[in-house]
Structure 1
Amino acid sequence: MTTEQARPAPDDRRWKALGVCLTAGFISLLDTSIVNVALPSMEHGLGASEAAQSWVVSGYALTFGLALVPAGRLGDMRGRRQAFLFGLALFTLASAACGLAPGASWLVLFRLLQGTAAGLVAPQTSGLIQQMFQGSERAKAFGLLGSVIGVSTAVGPLAGGLLINAVGTDHGWRWVFFVNLPIGVATFAAGLRLLPRFPASAGRREEFDLFGVLLLGSGVLAVMLPLVQEQQWHGRAKWALLPVAALLLGAFWAWERRQGRRGRAPLVDLALFSLRSFTLGALVSLTYFAGFTTVFFVFTLYLQNTVGYSALAAGVTVLPFAAASAVGAALGGRLVVRYGRKLVVIGLGGVALGLLGVVAAVQVVPGDGVGWATALPMLVGGIGSGLAVSPNTTLTLTRVPVKRAGAAGGVLQTGQRVGSAAGIAVVGAVYFAHLADGRSTTAIQLGLLTAVGFILVAMVLAVADMRERQAHPQPERAVEPVRRGSGDGGAEEKVGQSG
């Protein structure tokens, strides 16, 4: 047992420390969706072009996704507390810079920096949970994290709408960023006092795999660029980046294997993928986020541009999903130990059922009444989302060795960001193609059905993992590459946790 596993924080402090982590996670994930309803305000108050508005949204997602894995590895090596606090401070400063931006180009630049800072914070949260909690308490902590993930994404349009409604169109977009300042400062101060000082690693100080960072970053960039810019880059030439991405990611895989054979610490320990629970859980997360996050993208656009809702009214319409998601995630955190992957399957089924209900409601009650008509389906979908995200995160990370928790969390959340970008590209393409034909109701229905398709793929993967667990109920063990020259003269051959 390593030193970092043997020294949990005192009970009262670790739950408070979890609150610090979840608050930072909330504001960083909130910023993925809160700006969507602020784009007209940016155009009106700042004169931001369509291209600049696109980069305000997609640039954040891009740098967020690029930073996750190297940031997780950095936290594993140098200490998650330090990495968390640095990322939070940078995020707060970047938020202030975004709000004070004198022009659209400066806003895009600061938004890229803000996304990088968010990517630095996110994997430290899952890593700290791995360190501070075990067993059923860990499941409960991940349940609360699942609540934050679901609620922050869903409540973004409402929060943005409230701010713009209160401040006005000219400067409302600035307060979308300024709202992070008091929260960020207070959370940083609490983090200094409450976050535990775990040792970064036991034994020899490992090197940081810079070439691996370059290969992985280039590969993820080549995947995400054509996805996040699908609407802005016309023509098919952009898709030529995908085979380039495959080559770069293949080279990254080969390089990481070489690092393992030579006894050097890789950026991503490929032994993680020998854990079936981690591999299938990461795929479930990727495909679910491809469907889940796109719902708010196309539905809020439909409500504002077609039905004529204000930004605030559009945000209120998706509030039932956000509230129910919080309840479902808290419930899922308590039930996951008993029901396992079956709970994820039930949750995904609830999301699919809720979205099909939204599709039907749009057809039956078009016009101004659509917000009321979709409230119940949104409620059902939100409960399902909470039951899916929270338990899936727990089951995916619970058997990951604690010393690799940051990198594993980075891989999991990179999949979420790539899935979100891919889903928005695909669902957005379906929605805008039919919207151009003047069929707005058909456009939103087909867009939502496409999102349901992604969620059903996630359900198939979850069912496959559930059946495999039933056939082989014994806990898995992850086999790690041999590390030569460790500080204690020994070599680590196998690391496993039963969770």
Structure 2
Amino acid sequence: MTTERVLPAEAYRWRWPALAALLLGEAMNLLDATVVQVAAPAVHADLGGSVSDVQWFGTAYTLPFAVLLITGGRLGDLAGRRRLFVLGVVAFTAASVACALAPSAGLLIGFRAVQGAAAALVIPQTIGLIKAMFSGEETAKALGSIGPVMGLAAVCGPVLGGVLTHADLFGSSWRAAFLVNVPVSAVVLALAPLLPEDRAPIRPAFDWPGTALAAAGTGLVVYPLIGADVTQLPMQRWVLLLAGLLALAVFARHQRRSARPLLEPSLFTHRGFLAALVTSTAFFAVTNGMTTVVVLQLQLGAHTGVLAAGLSLIPWSAGLAIASWLAGARLVRRYGRRVMPYGLGVLLTGLLAAVAAYRTTAPGHYPAALLPGLALIGLGAGLFTPAFFTLALHPLRPQEIGSAAGLLNAVQQLGATLGVAVLGSVYLAGAGTGGPGAAPHAAQAACWVATALVAVCAAASSRVGAPDRR
């Protein structure tokens, strides 16, 4: 089957507004992964429920998001990427309204799960639709815009959640954080007709056993890490984790032997793409994990309010925005893959500056010296992401795009969950040891773990974009 395009060729003069629809859709979905990070205590105070519900307000979204991303990518190959994109945005908007109106913690958690499932339909379609709309150097420029949007959304989520909760617009408190999705989605849906309909050039069959194995494996790996102290993981969680790894091993074996695999087998013959998966996991573990540590330290260690904790991330967001624009518009086209190690170097400098800030700030005081370090972390991440996403997908064939997009986004969410679990656990375990200086020392320890993950990211990223296939 050939690629279906609903719009006539001359309509592609609207490809940049259509790209805006895709990027807004990505930002809206990824923003919600972290928007309740700062607001969760206010939600719990309003709705009640058990203390564990505070963790589930965020992770009820992340879990189905991570589990269903690969399936969402393949469904786009089959049914059409624009169709799945629009369906996902509509479902996401309806779930957002339901979250804002939720009368209890249990219902909010359920609606958050629906949001995550809808996001898994939206996110994997972006890359395929960009490939359908752009060609030549414009493709690299358009793909390079994805990384900055993803990074900004991840960092701006806590900022937006803190600002909206503190503003208490019309008495809405935390509910405004979900209602803000409604006008954004209206813009996305208004621009959606400009998108071409696109699907895999060769129509793949749907792999039901592979889908079940991928969902079960991913879910069993992610679930035990949610809200857990990874330094003291109980035996039953280890059993679930090992069962998930076993299910993923069976999934990999099934993909190699299946006549109609869920993932294109050719992806795994490409060393550059395998390196991109490792890089994405490590990078988003650092950025999401450090966001969590900074917010926890500000609220629990420095005893700041929800607004101050959210606003403190603005230097990170500003640095990310500036560097992303500069890298996407100029640096990647001029210097190519060399931008990635420079970005990681700046990010590493920011982490070391954060260590120094936590070391020199008196316990219980606001760490003003941390702000320049956060700006450097944002600058480094902003330099890295456009180059990474451009190179990670550059050598792929059209029939590989849906699988690659779903898998790359899935490991991003896995990395984010691992980062929150590992770095959050390092901080909480250290901060809970007692004494006024425990919290700053725990934040330093989390920063050192993050530097080790940056080293992993640097090693893996050296192979990203490599053209050779095994």
Query: Please, what TM-score do these two structures have when normalized by structure 1?
Result: 0.88
Q: 1:368 and 1:319 mapped to 2: Cα distance?
A: 21
Query: Following superposition of structure 1 onto structure 2, how do residues 397-416 of structure 1 map, counting pairs within 5 Å?
Result: 397-416=393-412
**Cα drift, residue 366 of structure 1:** 3.5
Is it true that 1:295 corresponds to 2:276 in the alignment? no
Indicate the residue corresponding to 2:184 in structure 1: 183
Q: Is the 8 A contact 1:42 1:48 kept in 2?
A: no
Indicate the residue corresponding to 1:14 in structure 2: 15
**Cα drift, residue 7 of structure 1:** 8.0
Q: 1:67 and 1:177 mapped to 2: Cα distance?
A: 22
Indicate the residue corresponding to 1:341 in structure 2: 337
**Cα drift, residue 389 of structure 1:** 1.6
Q: Is the 8 A contact 2:324 2:382 kept in 1?
A: yes
Indicate the residue corresponding to 1:484 in structure 2: none
Indicate the residue corresponding to 2:70 in structure 1: 69
**Residues 279-324 of structure 1: CA deviation (Å, up to 9, x unaligned):** 1112111111111111111111110122121211111111111111
Q: Quote the RMSD (CA, aligned, Å).
A: 2.3
Structure 1's 373 and 99: CA in aligned 2 closer, same or farther, altered over 3 A? same
The one-letter code matched in structure 2 to 1:219 is G
Query: Following superposition of structure 1 onto structure 2, how do residues 99-110 of structure 1 map, counting pairs within 5 Å?
Result: 99-110=100-111
The one-letter code matched in structure 2 to 1:253 is A
Is it true that 1:350 corresponds to 2:346 in the alignment? yes
2:462 alignment partner, SS class: helix
**Cα drift, residue 359 of structure 1:** 1.3
Is it true that 1:40 corresponds to 2:36 in the alignment? no
**Cα drift, residue 206 of structure 1:** 3.2
Q: Is the 8 A contact 1:41 1:169 kept in 2?
A: no
Indicate the residue corresponding to 1:224 in structure 2: 222
Runs of 5+ consecutive residues of structure 2 not aligned to the other structure: none
Is it true that 1:53 corresponds to 2:48 in the alignment? no
1:340 alignment partner, SS class: helix
**Cα drift, residue 335 of structure 1:** 2.5
Indicate the residue corresponding to 2:213 in structure 1: 215
The one-letter code matched in structure 1 to 2:326 is L
Q: Which among 309, 316, 339 is matched to residue 311 of structure 2?
A: 316
**Cα drift, residue 440 of structure 1:** 0.8
1:372 alignment partner, SS class: coil
The one-letter code matched in structure 2 to 1:409 is A
Indicate the residue corresponding to 1:482 in structure 2: none
**Cα drift, residue 368 of structure 1:** 7.6
**Cα drift, residue 231 of structure 1:** 4.2
Indicate the residue corresponding to 2:237 in structure 1: 238
Indicate the residue corresponding to 2:162 in structure 1: 161
The one-letter code matched in structure 2 to 1:460 is A
Q: 1:197 and 1:245 mapped to 2: Cα distance?
A: 35
**Cα drift, residue 341 of structure 1:** 2.6
Structure 1's 168 and 395: CA in aligned 2 closer, same or farther, altered over 3 A? same
Q: Which among 301, 304, 308 is matched to residue 299 of structure 2?
A: 304
Query: Following superposition of structure 1 onto structure 2, how do residues 110-121 of structure 1 map, counting pairs within 5 Å?
Result: 110-121=111-122
Structure 1's 346 and 95: CA in aligned 2 closer, same or farther, altered over 3 A? same
**Cα drift, residue 239 of structure 1:** 1.1
Q: 1:331 and 1:90 mapped to 2: Cα distance?
A: 35
Greater shift after overlay, 113-122 or 368-377? 368-377
2:206 alignment partner, SS class: coil
Greater shift after overlay, 64-73 or 226-235? 226-235
Indicate the residue corresponding to 2:94 in structure 1: 93
Indicate the residue corresponding to 2:254 in structure 1: 255
Q: Is the 8 A contact 2:289 2:422 kept in 1?
A: no
Indicate the residue corresponding to 2:459 in structure 1: 460
Indicate the residue corresponding to 2:450 in structure 1: 451
The one-letter code matched in structure 1 to 2:197 is R
Q: 1:9 and 1:105 mapped to 2: Cα distance?
A: 49
Indicate the residue corresponding to 1:194 in structure 2: 194
Q: 1:38 and 1:271 mapped to 2: Cα distance?
A: 43
- How many residue pairs match? The answer is 464
2:396 alignment partner, SS class: coil
Q: Is the 8 A contact 1:44 1:169 kept in 2?
A: no
Structure 1's 61 and 379: CA in aligned 2 closer, same or farther, altered over 3 A? same
Q: Is the 8 A contact 2:255 2:265 kept in 1?
A: yes
Q: 2:47 and 2:171 mapped to 1: Cα distance?
A: 8
The one-letter code matched in structure 1 to 2:95 is A
Runs of 5+ consecutive residues of structure 1 not aligned to the other structure: 470-474, 479-499
Structure 1's 170 and 457: CA in aligned 2 closer, same or farther, altered over 3 A? farther
Structure 1's 9 and 373: CA in aligned 2 closer, same or farther, altered over 3 A? farther
The one-letter code matched in structure 2 to 1:51 is S
Q: 2:262 and 2:97 mapped to 1: Cα distance?
A: 32
